[in-house]
Amino acid sequence: MPHATFRQVDLEALCGESDLSLDRIEELCLLVKGELKRKGCVDGDVKVELQDTNRPDTWCVEGIARQIRQHKTGVPGDYACFEPPAVGQAPSARIQVAASVKSVRPYVAGFLARGYTVDEDGLQAFIAAQEVLCHNFGRQRKSVAIGIYDASQMTFPIHYEAVDAASEERAFVPLQPNEDDPCDGSGTPIPAERWAQPWTPAEILRDHPTGRKYADAIPDPSRATILVDDAGQVLSFPPVINSATLGRVQPGMSELFVEVTGTVLDQVLLAANILAANLADRGAQIEACETHYPWETERGAVLPCPHLLEDRTTVTVTPDRFGALLGEPELGSAEICDRLRHYGVKVASEANALRVTTLPYRADYLHQVDAIEDFAISRGYDTFAPLLPEEFTVGSQSIGSQFEDLIRDRMIGVGFEEAIGNILTSAVEVRERMLLPAEGPVPEFRPVHGANSVRIQNVMSVNYSLLRDWLLPTLLEIEGHSSGARNPHRVFEVGEVCSWDETQVLASQTRQHLGALLADDKQAGFSECQAYLHALLHTLGLSFGEGEGTYGLDLVEHPSFLPSRAAWVVIGAARTRIGLIGEVHPGVLEAWRIYSPVSAFEICLDTLRALLD
């Protein structure tokens, strides 16, 4: 979970309260689902662990103070920077994007902040917010990276381009690391005079300590994205490091330019909105900057920043839903509106319903429940009367759970070790590394995974952007991390998979699968894997053959498996497909960095149990 550490006096100044005790801060942290870490509160510092991964705006002192201040005043806050620009009003600045960045790091957003003189607390708070957003929200700068610059020395427009990393064309003097005795990639100390000389992006990635640290955030080390002003001054090499000239921000400066680059447009815009709100809370006047793309993004070719994310900030809910879900049917609209406004959201009546809208530094409204939760937090969970159960019942395992435990026992009995994977994953893992199409349906590969993946709408991390639709990628990931261990490896998982189904609630169909993987330098072929499948199905009363009470194999060509080394697992006279077995394709193994032959099978336990009943 993300942590925020800040000066207590800074929190008090931003909240508009003085002499806050740690007990009071601990109480107020409940508004942001935060937990005060008392052992980290020393010498005037406060440390808070945030439990809500959907609210990156609260991962900093400004966000925590903002929520406390709004709860106290009942006023969402006046953020003029989020108002749509007047017709004919020109933006203060422009970022021109070159077509060369599209395949490298395609998105950028920025804004100007004037009228706030940077002080030490404010600068440290910005750096802390920058780091926690880039680390947790931005996947170690892979999907989001942030830069701040001295705008008084810049010439607009700003140009965002990709260049040859080894070229001297955009060489610049980078910021020095905070290390006492920094070394280059070979371990040799870097001489002091080197820091006054220009570095190419390739040299930064090879020898600069910060470049080596964030080299994994660069998809193609031969190409470097560069931000440069209209006078040719380099601002930075995102997502790695700023220049030592424009990119060095110090206390006393009062004209700032903030930019966010990344691979996911909505994440870039949301991060920029959060930083704009933070600086506005410190007294800065936020001026919009337009980004001009040479292609049409999902939100257009010309995007102002700060940017309204209206489709992710508004829900409509009837007042009776609040009472129904919270157990207080008598809840009235007046109380609901009042408590929501004390949580910093705007409420408007709309034809027997309430239209609830957050400000654009939040983008976590997807369902009516999100607004209802905000009301409950604002009012306080301790204000709701607890209800005792009306009936006494005795719990027991469902038939499905008993069957899953039986399968686990059988797999352990034949020498496999159980793994537990994460149902949230990414398209790279379930599609790209499996040599499957990145987008669109793949109905010919059912039932191992669905016709379409179930994707997360408000993605906070690309690593967790969709629900897995088969287990084999999870098992291959485990094998990729364990490939150096002594063979053979026998791993299985009994777990949930999801596929798109518009007939189901939220258009998602959840099923229980069994996935099993065998890796061995000597014996990991189709026959060895089939032997384990045969042992499992035999203990369930099935025999290999045709007709009722049997199982069989039907050959299939599947991109994830070797040609002529994959088959459907079928059951009964109708030869109903329940899964897939085969030898994993070398291209898949290479993508997962696995160096031993691998065979695997996966079956749908729900379908198998239904056929056995």
Looking at residue 137, its pLDDT comes to 87
Mean pLDDT confidence for 140-144:
91
- Contact of 208 with 241, CB cutoff 8 Å: yes
Looking at residue 16, its pLDDT comes to 86
Mean of the per-residue pLDDT values of the chain: 90
At residue 449, does pLDDT exceed 70?
no
Rounded Cα–Cα distance for residues 145 and 167 (Å)? 23
Q: Work out the pLDDT band at 445, boundaries 50, 70, 90.
A: very low
Mean pLDDT confidence for 364-372:
90
263 Cβ contact partners less than 8 Å away, ≥ 6 residues apart: 105, 106, 107, 142, 143, 462
- Beta bridge partners of residue 467, listed in sequence order: 424, 454
Looking at residue 460, its pLDDT comes to 66
SS (H, E, C) 562-581: EEEEEEEEEECCCCEEEEEE
φ/ψ of 592, rounded to 5, equals: -95, 0
How many C-beta atoms lie closer than 10 Å to residue 165's C-beta?
A: 22
Taking only the tens place, the pLDDT of each residue in 24-38 is 999 999 999 999 999
The encoded tokens of residue 65 equal: 């103070």
- Contact of 513 with 603, CB cutoff 8 Å: yes
- Contact of 492 with 514, CB cutoff 8 Å: yes
Looking at residue 75, its pLDDT comes to 83
Q: Work out the pLDDT band at 446, boundaries 50, 70, 90.
A: very low
Looking at residue 451, its pLDDT comes to 56
Looking at residue 466, its pLDDT comes to 86
- Contact of 97 with 301, CB cutoff 8 Å: no
At residue 506, does pLDDT exceed 90?
no
Q: Where is average pLDDT lowest: 15-19, 83-87, 224-228?
A: 83-87
Looking at residue 456, its pLDDT comes to 79
Taking only the tens place, the pLDDT of each residue in 522-542 is 888 999 999 999 999 999 999
Looking at residue 79, its pLDDT comes to 86
At residue 184, does pLDDT exceed 90?
no
At residue 66, does pLDDT exceed 70?
yes
Taking only the tens place, the pLDDT of each residue in 273-318 is 999 999 999 999 999 999 999 999 999 999 999 988 877 788 999 9
**Whole-prediction pTM:** 0.77
The helix/strand/coil state of 473 is helix
Looking at residue 609, its pLDDT comes to 93
At residue 491, does pLDDT exceed 70?
yes
Mean pLDDT confidence for 140-150:
93
With b for 16 or more beta-carbon neighbours within 10 A and e for fewer, the 465-475 pattern comes to bbbbbbbbbbb
At residue 99, does pLDDT exceed 90?
yes
Mean pLDDT confidence for 551-565:
92
Mean pLDDT confidence for 53-78:
90
Mean pLDDT confidence for 495-517:
86
For every residue of 187-209, DSSP letters joined together read SPBPPGGGGGS-B-HHHHHHH-H
pLDDT over 70 for what percent of the chain?
A: 97
For residue 447, whether the previous peptide bond is cis, meaning omega lies within 30 degrees of 0, is: yes
Domains defined for the chain, CATH in brackets: 3-73 (3.30.56.10), 80-176+194-307 (3.50.40.10), 311-383 (3.30.56.10), 399-612 (3.30.930.10)
At residue 158, does pLDDT exceed 60?
yes
Identity of the amino acid at 456: I
